[in-house]
Amino acid sequence: MKKLFPLILLAFAFSACQQVEKPNVVMQSLNQGWTLTGDTLDINMQVDVPSVVQQSLYENGLIPHPYLGTVENQLLWISDHPWDYTLHFDVDKYLLEKENVELVFEGIDTYADVSLNGEKLFFADNQFRTWKYDVKDLLKKRDNLLEVHFPRYDSIQLASYEQHKPQLPEKYAVSRKAPYQHGWDWAPKYKNVGIWKPVKLMGWNEARLEDAYAVTCSADSVHAVLTLHLDVENATDGEYEVIVSTGSTTLANRSLSLSKGRHHKVFPVFIQDPQLWWPNEMGEQPLYDFEVALKKDNRVLDSKKFKSGIRTFEMVDEPDSIGRAFYFKVNGVPMYAKGANYVPEEMIETWINADNTLRLLRQAKDAHFNMLRVWGGGIYPSDDFFNICDSLGILVWQDFMYAGTMYPYDEAFLENARIEAEEQVRRLASHPSLALWCGGNEISEGYYNWGWQQSLGWSEEDDKAIKAGYDKLFENILPQAVAQFDGTRPYWPSSPSKGWGRPESLTEGDVHYWGVWWGEQPYEVYREKVGRFNSEYGYQSYPDYSTLLKIAQGEELSKDAEVIAAHQKHARGTRQIDDFIKRYYPNAQPKDFEEYVHLSQLSQAYGMEIAIEAHRTAKPYNMGTLYWQLNDAWPVTSWSSIDYYGNLKVFHERLKTLYAPVLLSLDKKDYGVFVTSDLMRDIDGTLSVAVCDLEGQQLFEQKVKVEMDANENRKYTVEGLRDYLRNTDLQKVYVKLQLTEGDSLTAERKCYFSAFFE
């Protein structure tokens, strides 16, 4: 946990020549020294925040580790119990003298009554919002009492769900809280309760800068236009000045005439000869340090610093001869998106930390990722996550946190959703890695394809009202928040845009192709189900054996062990993994469970290889492949390529070839060879194609001249290869492909004809 100094002088001096006698804006952290009590339980813990109850109970030795053994059911009571956080604190002298003092909770999970010195301030009901309250008149110098009372989460949610008519598909729909914590097909039901983000007091006189951020409107190597967004709050009418700079260069100097109140101001900033930010493997990731100062009568009242990168990003969604093209352009260059879906890194959300995120995202970068989709059933990632993505060149497809259900549509819910969206859009806008905003995960898919109308008994009127509510939120409120507070990021209402059972899912928009896992079709079907942008597909495997040993806590491991079942959250998961091992490795006789676990990973890797090869070799018809899922939120059997403890599965190792900038693939139907290049430069080289026996002895060789443009995908016919392979026992050979340019090896691949030998 980050410890903050109790008093941070925020606007002490903007530059060396500016003399500021006293800071105008001061902050006092209220993170330390809380008491957490469990009402009727005899629990009384000293805690710091950010933290959640589950974490504190574990850290105080009151519950077992929530990720190990078979403890889930023993821990479900926690979210159905009331909890109280209390803090006694003194107010720093500087702060108390300020004309304006605000109490700020950066995040409360989820329902809580907050009071100060016996006075009720507000009822929090959204995990994803900050809560701010003017407390100037309530504060005293000594012994203030801040109380945060969490009523029973489960009971509140249930009552509000039961009240909602027509019935909604999922209980979690009524709460603005991370959906995955209510149980998912890879997650236990750990509904966190607590103060999960920092708490502080902010004091200021006259005016302050609440927020400052910049977005790129247009940019090339000569000239960039950025829009600077400012949120200013001023207690008196007046003339103010805003100075924007980067390094020693002043970019803008503006006068603002502001009446008392809160203002969102927008103005352009120009940068000559900008260093453009590029996604991983398309170029460098230069970041600019921006500084914005708010001045009055030549005094600096407040200042903000932030980093940003300069790049343009476009979502192309336009009709073509087949349907609608769907792809992204960065700095005007079409980009083939390679990556995965990202889920929260922990079930206990306050255990997410920057070191682990850095490790995980480096592992993604090492496998040539240029994009992650932050899936809508989790939480909005921290600033750390986005800072890391900025520095590694990993673009983020960011879902709003809505997934797999229809939502309430009353005024209060929609207003809550609007505030949440605006805050999140503003928080993330400066990050060059933030690519687009998407309404959420599998909501329109569910509405049109999952039969809720029948299963929940909606009348025609109910259906209309629910759909109108959907339109308000996903077609109106969310895109409006993006347009107003960002103005550059594209908005895509739903991922996928069409359900995987519908033909249009392969000719337009993005598709979650789940026919293999959910439909139990063979891996080879991936070759036919290539969409314009495959934003989800996947197959399960067990995590690393060392991970299973950790969770087993001494229990003997086997496919049927209780602990293994407790860490498999998909109803058919164990059986389906087994089916595919038998289908693709019919002769394998694993000598023990450890070997069986490894086979599950080989099977997953084999299936994903078929999918990725099909997607990439279909470029530019297909312009993106994001598999399900990069990571795990706890140790679990799942679709991930990296397990909870950071172990790479076989699949992730293989991505180093499958996602490489140049992929060589053998078309098993006609034995042509694809050279698929995502390089920003042309290729002038030689493709050598060899057929080898399983000992590596070369039986056939042919060379082909390769001349290709940047970013091109081309299929080559290899003289004699087809005839040779047609007369060969394919189980006894593999094909070795190598692309060389001069003396250097650009790409290499070994292609086998069945799963067994790989």
Q: At its nearest, how many Å lie between ligand BMA and the CB of residue 677? A: 30
- Give the separation between CA 244 and CA 246, rounded to whole angstroms: 7
**Complex with ligand BMA: residue 184 or 492, whichever CB lies closer:** 184
Strands (E), 79-184: 83-89, 100-105, 111-116, 119-125, 131-134, 144-150
CB-CB contact of 375 with 399 (8 Å): yes
**Complex with ligand BMA: residue 430 or 600, whichever CB lies closer:** 600
**Complex with ligand BMA: residue 135 or 626, whichever CB lies closer:** 626
CB-CB contact of 193 with 150 (8 Å): yes
Q: Rounded to the nearest 10 degrees, what angle do helices 545-552 and 593-617 cross at?
A: 130
Binding string to ligand BMA for residues 349 to 388, with x set by CB under 6 A, is what?
A: ----------------------------x-----------
CB-CB contact of 242 with 296 (8 Å): no
**Complex with ligand BMA: residue 448 or 700, whichever CB lies closer:** 448
Q: At its nearest, how many Å lie between ligand BMA and the CB of residue 375? A: 6
**Complex with ligand BMA: residue 404 or 479, whichever CB lies closer:** 404
- Give the separation between CA 522 and CA 506, rounded to whole angstroms: 18
Q: At its nearest, how many Å lie between ligand BMA and the CB of residue 529? A: 15
Instruction: Choose which of 580, 628, 674, 734 interacts with ligand BMA (CB under 6 A).
Output: 628
Binding string to ligand BMA for residues 518 to 547, with x set by CB under 6 A, is what?
A: ------------------x-----------
Determine the interface stretch with ligand BMA among 22-30, 178-186, 313-321, 706-714 (rule: CB under 6 A). 178-186
Interface of this chain with ligand BMA, residues 630 to 649, rule: CB under 6 A? 639
Which residue sits closest to ligand BMA, CB atoms considered? 185
- Give the separation between CA 639 and CA 343, rounded to whole angstroms: 11
3-state helix/strand/coil string of 366-395: HCCCCEEEECCCCCCCCHHHHHHHHHHCCE
Closest to 490 in 3D by CA, of 478, 502, 498: 478
**Complex with ligand BMA: residue 390 or 442, whichever CB lies closer:** 442
Q: Is 278 in the site for ligand BMA (CB under 6 A)?
A: no
Q: At its nearest, how many Å lie between ligand BMA and the CB of residue 588? A: 26
Q: At its nearest, how many Å lie between ligand BMA and the CB of residue 566? A: 17
CB-CB contact of 699 with 692 (8 Å): yes
Instruction: Choose which of 182, 512, 616, 654 interacts with ligand BMA (CB under 6 A).
Output: 512
Main-chain dihedrals φ then ψ at residue 737, nearest 5 degrees = -115, 135
Tokens matching residue 130: 């900050």
**Complex with ligand BMA: residue 579 or 592, whichever CB lies closer:** 579
**Complex with ligand BMA: residue 56 or 441, whichever CB lies closer:** 441
CB-CB contact of 387 with 307 (8 Å): yes
Q: Of how many residues is the chain composed? A: 758
Q: Please report, for residues 106, 187, 191, 639, the alpha-carbon distance to residue 182 in angstroms, rounded to integers and kept in the order given.
A: 22, 8, 6, 19
Q: At its nearest, how many Å lie between ligand BMA and the CB of residue 323? A: 22
- Give the separation between CA 456 and CA 632, rounded to whole angstroms: 32
Tokens matching residue 466: 């629910």
The SS3 call for residue 360 is helix
Report how many helices (DSSP H) and strands (DSSP E) the chain contains, helices first. 17, 38
**Complex with ligand BMA: residue 28 or 535, whichever CB lies closer:** 535
**Complex with ligand BMA: residue 66 or 377, whichever CB lies closer:** 377
Q: Count the residues of the shown chain that bind ligand BMA, applying the rule CB under 6 A.
A: 11
Q: Is 185 in the site for ligand BMA (CB under 6 A)?
A: yes
Q: At its nearest, how many Å lie between ligand BMA and the CB of residue 505? A: 13
> Side chain identity at 684, as an amino acid letter?
D
Alpha helices in 124-209 (DSSP H): 153-163
Q: At its nearest, how many Å lie between ligand BMA and the CB of residue 536? A: 5
Burial class (CB in 10 A: 0-12, 13-18, 19+), 329: middle
Q: Is 447 in the site for ligand BMA (CB under 6 A)?
A: no
Closest to 82 in 3D by CA, of 117, 41, 115, 122: 41
Q: At its nearest, how many Å lie between ligand BMA and the CB of residue 540? A: 9
**Complex with ligand BMA: residue 116 or 566, whichever CB lies closer:** 566
Q: Is 442 in the site for ligand BMA (CB under 6 A)?
A: yes
Q: At its nearest, how many Å lie between ligand BMA and the CB of residue 539? A: 10
Q: At its nearest, how many Å lie between ligand BMA and the CB of residue 404? A: 6
The order of strands in the sheet holding 733-741 is 698-708, 683-693, 733-741, 744-751
Q: At its nearest, how many Å lie between ligand BMA and the CB of residue 179? A: 9
Q: At its nearest, how many Å lie between ligand BMA and the CB of residue 175? A: 18
Alpha helices in 91-183 (DSSP H): 93-96, 153-163
Q: At its nearest, how many Å lie between ligand BMA and the CB of residue 122? A: 33
Interface of this chain with ligand BMA, residues 475 to 504, rule: CB under 6 A? none
Question: Which residues pair with residue 734 across a beta bridge?
Answer: 692
> Side chain identity at 304, as an amino acid letter?
K
- Give the separation between CA 181 and CA 11, rounded to whole angstroms: 39
Q: At its nearest, how many Å lie between ligand BMA and the CB of residue 639? A: 6
Binding string to ligand BMA for residues 60 to 79, with x set by CB under 6 A, is what?
A: --------------------
CB-CB contact of 177 with 110 (8 Å): yes
CB-CB contact of 629 with 538 (8 Å): yes
Instruction: Choose which of 216, 285, 370, 441 interacts with ligand BMA (CB under 6 A).
Output: 441
**Complex with ligand BMA: residue 425 or 636, whichever CB lies closer:** 636
Q: At its nearest, how many Å lie between ligand BMA and the CB of residue 196? A: 23
Determine the interface stretch with ligand BMA among 179-187, 394-402, 497-505, 556-564 (rule: CB under 6 A). 179-187
Instruction: Choose which of 83, 150, 186, 545 interacts with ligand BMA (CB under 6 A).
Output: 186
- Give Cα 251 distance to the centre of its chain: 32
**Complex with ligand BMA: residue 600 or 711, whichever CB lies closer:** 600
Tokens matching residue 187: 């997650």
CB-CB contact of 541 with 523 (8 Å): no
Q: What is the dihedral sign for C-alpha 552, 557, 561, 567?
A: positive
Determine the interface stretch with ligand BMA among 54-62, 180-188, 210-218, 485-493 (rule: CB under 6 A). 180-188
Percentages of the chain per state (helix, strand, coil), in multiples of 5: 25, 35, 40
**Complex with ligand BMA: residue 608 or 708, whichever CB lies closer:** 608
Q: At its nearest, how many Å lie between ligand BMA and the CB of residue 538? A: 7
CB-CB contact of 551 with 563 (8 Å): yes
Determine the interface stretch with ligand BMA among 153-161, 182-190, 193-201, 464-472 (rule: CB under 6 A). 182-190
**Complex with ligand BMA: residue 125 or 643, whichever CB lies closer:** 643
Closest to 185 in 3D by CA, of 538, 649, 469: 538
Instruction: Choose which of 85, 105, 184, 278 interacts with ligand BMA (CB under 6 A).
Output: 184
Interface of this chain with ligand BMA, residues 386 to 405, rule: CB under 6 A? 404
Residues engaged in binding ligand BMA (CB under 6 A): 184-186, 377, 404, 441-442, 512, 536, 628, 639
